[in-house]
Structure 1
């Protein structure tokens, strides 16, 4: 794996760090592929419950590496698209821990995660139009799904950035912290990791996918996500632990 991405397991949480601080963690093809590989590890390892994606050197990601782009390189993974996760997501949750700038593809990368924790000084934006480009890594598609259309249109057409507090007010960011975002992200990850892993994965899938489901077909679409949950050992363990007033011991089956 390239040293452009650092991967470490910590208490059931896989921490994935974009490690190009000298280039403001701009995304390269090798980094995108490494992030995709880390997410495969997340799904394959039963001991891992969720992931945190962050950047080294007080910066999340400044987007596509433009020097690589001028050489004809696109920072995409064959399956996951930009940054390895913008067109595909693992079954388990990902938390973006954003310090500094999450701009262009960096914002798209954050939006591709399931939750976002940001330092109060962080900035978010898709300035592609300022460079004659389009936010085609998910920004132009995801923002109008997450924001009122006029607000999404303003961010996309002006290319201007907004601060973490404004992003929080708009519902794009889950938590804003005075300290390093990774610390608050670890707290959130610990809460998620303590829950039933099968239930967490199924719930993520439903929340992410259900916006496509017609109301009359919700149960039909939801059933494949939950059919195994209520007969699982974890479901029985959860009920037993509740009645016995103790922490559950999840088996992931």
Structure 2
């Protein structure tokens, strides 16, 4: 694991911190590979229920390390894309905790996560056109699906950022906080981690994959995601815990 990314865990939550604060956490290939490795760990360890991705030093990620780019380096991890996360997703949820700037690849990394929590002073944008580049890590593809088309077009063509509050009002951000984003992200992660892990993973998979499912095939396509959940030990435990007015003891099976 590269020292450009710090990984800790507590109470079922994996925290992954981009650790290049002097470079505003600009992404390198080593950091991208370390994030991908951390996400593999998230899926591999049953005790881990959720992950938080954040940045050290008061900023999330300012995008690609341009010095590395000039040397021919791309901050991707194989087929997993920018930051090791923009072209795939782990089975378990990932929350972006955004302080400061989430710009260029940083914004693409944030929206590649399943949920976004931001400090009120955070800014989101894809300024690639200001450098003669294109937001090719998912920005120009996914933003028109997440925002009104005209606003996505404005972000792509002007390169100007929007505030965290504006992003929240448009549904790009789940929660805005006056304090550090990591604190609010931990609260959200704890809520998720308290739920049935099989049900959480299935729900995430359906929400992500059903984007273009034909309406008349939804039930058929959804079935493989949920069939094992309804016959699981966790499903029975959830019902028993409700009847007995206690917290469930999830087994993940």
- Distance, in Å, in 2 between the alignment partners of 1:217 and 1:126 is 35
**How many Å separate the matches in 2 of 1:143 and 1:151?**
9
Counterpart check, 1:5 vs 2:5: yes
1:92 alignment counterpart: 92
Query: Separation in 2 of the partners of 1:79 and 1:9?
Result: 26
1:113 aligns with 2:130: no
Specify the alignment match of 1:27 in structure 2. Answer: 27
State the secondary structure of the residue aligned to 1:79: helix
The aligned counterpart of 1:242 is 242
Secondary structure of residue in 1 paired with 2:51: strand
Let me know the Cα RMSD of the aligned residues.
0.5
1:154 aligns with 2:134: no
Q: Within 5 Å, which residues of 2 pair with 1:149-228?
A: 149-228=149-228
The corresponding residue for 1:229 is 229
* Inter-partner Cα distance in structure 2 for 1:220 and 1:136: 33
Q: Partner residue of 2:43?
A: 43
Which TM-score applies when normalising by structure 2? 0.99
Task: Provide Cα deviations, 1:108-139, integer angstroms capped at 9, x if missing partner.
Answer: 00000000000000000000011100000000
Residue by residue, what CA displacement relative to the aligned partner does 1:65-95 show, whole Å, maximum 9, x if unpaired? Answer: 0000000000001131000010000000000
Which whole-Å CA distance do the structure 1 matches of 2:185 and 2:149 have between them? 29
CA distance in 2: counterparts of 1:81 and 1:212, whole angstroms: 22
SS at match of 1:30: helix
User: Which structure 1 segments of 5+ residues have no match?
Assistant: none
| Number of residue equivalences | 253
Distance 1:156 1:2 in 2: 32
Q: Return the offset for 1:221.
A: 1.0
Q: Distance in 2 between matches of 1:149 and 1:177?
A: 27
Per-residue deviation, 1:13: 0.2
Q: What's the CA shift for 1:151?
A: 1.1
